[in-house]
Amino acid sequence: MTSHPERKTAAPSNPFADVAQGVSADAFAILGPHRQGDDLWIRVVQPSAQSVAVHIGSEWHAMSERAERGLFELLRPRARDADIPAYRLRITFGDGRAVDLDDPYRYGPVFSDYDLHLFNEGTLHRAFERFGAHRVRVGSTTGVHFAVWAPNAQRVSLVGAFNGWDGRVHPMRHRLPSGVWELFVPDLPDGELYKFEIRTREGHLLTKSDPFGFSFERPPATASIVRETSGYEWSDAAWVEARAGHGEWLEEPMAVYEVHLGSWARVPGEGHRPMTYRELADRLPGYVKDLGFTHIELLPVMEHPFTPSWGYQVLGFFAPTSRFGPPEDFKYFVDRCHQAGLGVVLDWVPGHFPRDAHGLACFDGTALYEHDDPRQGEHQDWGTLIFNYGRNEVRSFLLSNALFWLEEYHVDGLRVDAVASMLYLDYSRRNGEWIPNRFGGRENLEAIEFLQRLNILTHGEHPGTVMAAEESTAWPGVSRPVHLGGLGFTYKWNMGWMHDMLKYLREDPVHRRWHHDLVTFPMLYAFSENFVLPLSHDEVVYGKAALLSKMPGDLWQRYATLRTFLGYMWGHPGKKLLFMGGEFGQWREWNHDHSLDWHLLDDDAHAGIRRFVQALNWHYRAEPALHERDFTPDGFRWIDCHDNENSVVSFVRYAKDPRNAVVMVFNFTPVPRHDYRIGVPAAGFYAELLNSDAAMFGGSNLGNAGGLTTQPNAMHGFEQSLTLTVPPAGCLLLKRRD
């Protein structure tokens, strides 16, 4: 149910008719108990009822149906001195079925004036505690409180199976001038489906899912679900406490395994269905931990109507998708990751939302969450709508959503999708298709302010969590503090490094010497931001081919080149991110409808790539030089970046303690380099800690017999040097031993 035509009714002539016909903007003025002089009136609207009775004290009193069909009332004369009594209703339907219930219209408002004020000024940072469906206690009565923002609606009603999806039965209270509508429904159980029926100013009826819904039906069904999720008992207190005292991850190893939950592994015996959150919790954390990664990053798990969007077109911003189980099962998944010592990062999409009729688009008949002008409010590339970041209530919605995932689901950070599309008013637009800011520029000033507030809020409220930006332009200061003019993110994805390296590796090795600058250029800006080096899902879809398939040459060269590329990524300054399947060299391009090709691990070459990634992560975590100074120039020095003729590069990575420096050498051709001399920082024996050409990784076992001793021959600005055998399409990791 998403929308339907307006019911054909006669023009209302009085407030009673308005309520009975479902067009009243103030049903609370009629329904429930009301004093009129010495008399007490109780009124209820039940269009499908044959009769209604009221139970007061120990007696039942039949209500009279007014001329306005479906509107019942009871008069208690001369009730001036009595308090308004507690009462219950008995609704009898034409089929003889009778239902006893408490009357929602005998209760006052729940939403405080102060919270409404904060919401309207954009500072109700935990709006999820007030909006949506919450089980609360009012006096001695327990029920569910609903609240929704629809300032331009003529009437908003709660609808569900409990009232026959009839918008006349449960009209909500309008809290003027906030634009918020609320209703407390006593005794409503968990599991009830619900939506909001909205009557627009033009008289159209819209049926909308709850923007703050915490649980949804499994798509393609779209109703929100009343669900109490706060009862989950977490077992990750030690992890959360350690994270809070940890500070940021800037000097720590951070290797992220990116996952699409629906296609990591499927269940062959049951029609290749996706695994549930609980099934994934029993397998995925152990697998990722064994590989040596520190974090799991999930493509958006927020509820989305269209599976092929991979979660990037969100409608249920406050609900994990029901495709894999209920909300508490996703909590269990996060809990198990933390118990395994793994952080969990979620992709988060505040840049746009889809147009589905049951969602945020034109929510109350007007452009509410989005801009009204398509030059500001539409993403032409994706066919989606852009949030209006300048609207206070929209900021409350989005900022609350970020905190919600950090607090309610204990996640350790958010990767903000498509930041560039938020920052630029002319993003993917031609002249005349966008509106300049108040200074005549192309920068989206409201989005900039929103992102700065977002990062101040999340880092301040939850130290130790990370905020990463997928930002593909040269926007300055993405990962610099807000007080210094930056956007305040912890990290920025290094899209330039990724594009340059993939372009370089697609070249035939014979031609790579003419493209050597693609390897070396990223170091010119490597310390301008706190970078994450991503090899993400975006690089293995839509005809781009899997990582292994991008490598030219015969089979041996492809395997060897992929290992060397991964070695270069782990050696290069910056945190690491690898999409699932890349760790064992999947051949097939990623398909969200299919499992990874796990059978490839039966092949020694693919198992060797997996062992190499495992070894990379082990050394990455063990060697301070590979992570302590990722973001300062004193952590890196080229040994030789000019040997384009051999397509070989070498460098030193430094730790805070210079004795922990490591040397790395990369040969991007399938030709072994014998007697290859490089300068090194100090005299002594250099152990060969890692060689991508080792037989255990699928290589030819060409190397340096475990290590070499320096010679007092100056080279590359160093007084000492090593004469190495550099394996074909291989990389070496060396460290001086006393």
| Cβ contact 579:539 at 8 Å | yes
Q: CA-CA distance, 515 to 505, in Å (whole number)?
A: 10
Q: CA-CA distance, 587 to 699, in Å (whole number)?
A: 18
Q: CA-CA distance, 553 to 510, in Å (whole number)?
A: 11
Q: Which helix (H) or strand (E) holds 447?
A: helix 445-461
Strands 3-4 and 32-36: unpaired
Extended beta strands in 252-369, E state: 255-259, 266-267, 273-274, 295-298, 302-303, 316-320, 343-348
Q: CA-CA distance, 1 to 492, in Å (whole number)?
A: 41
DSSP, residue by residue, 530-572? -EEEEE-GGGGSTTS--HHHHS-SSHHHHHHHHHHHHHHHHHS
Count of all residues that appear for the chain in the document: 738
Give the three-class secondary structure for 489: coil
Find how far residue 421's CA is from the centre of its chain.
Answer: 16
**R_g over Cα of the chain:** 31
Q: CA-CA distance, 7 to 17, in Å (whole number)?
A: 14
Q: CA-CA distance, 403 to 413, in Å (whole number)?
A: 10
Q: CA-CA distance, 144 to 705, in Å (whole number)?
A: 71
Alpha helices by DSSP H, listed for 108-187, are 113-120
Closest CA to 693 of 676, 673, 677, 679: 673
500 as an active site residue: the answer is no
Give the three-class secondary structure for 23: coil
Cis before 658? omega within 30: no
| Cβ contact 218:540 at 8 Å | no
DSSP state letter for 140: T
Q: CA-CA distance, 289 to 277, in Å (whole number)?
A: 17
Structural tokens at position 565: 């590329």
Q: CA-CA distance, 327 to 153, in Å (whole number)?
A: 31
Closest CA to 567 of 651, 507, 631: 651
Give the three-class secondary structure for 383: coil
Structural tokens at position 167: 């918008």
| Cβ contact 531:587 at 8 Å | no
Q: CA-CA distance, 692 to 682, in Å (whole number)?
A: 24
DSSP, residue by residue, 271-291? TTEEPPHHHHHHHHHHHHHHH
Residue corresponding to tokens 């951070």: 254
Structural tokens at position 251: 């000097």
Query: Of the listed 103, 182, 470, 529, which one is catalytic?
Result: 470
Extended beta strands in 387-514, E state: 413-416, 466-469, 491-493
470 as an active site residue: the answer is yes
Query: Of the listed 417, 446, 539, 640, which one is catalytic?
Result: 417
Give the three-class secondary structure for 640: strand
Question: Any idea which residues carry the catalytic annotation?
Answer: 417, 470
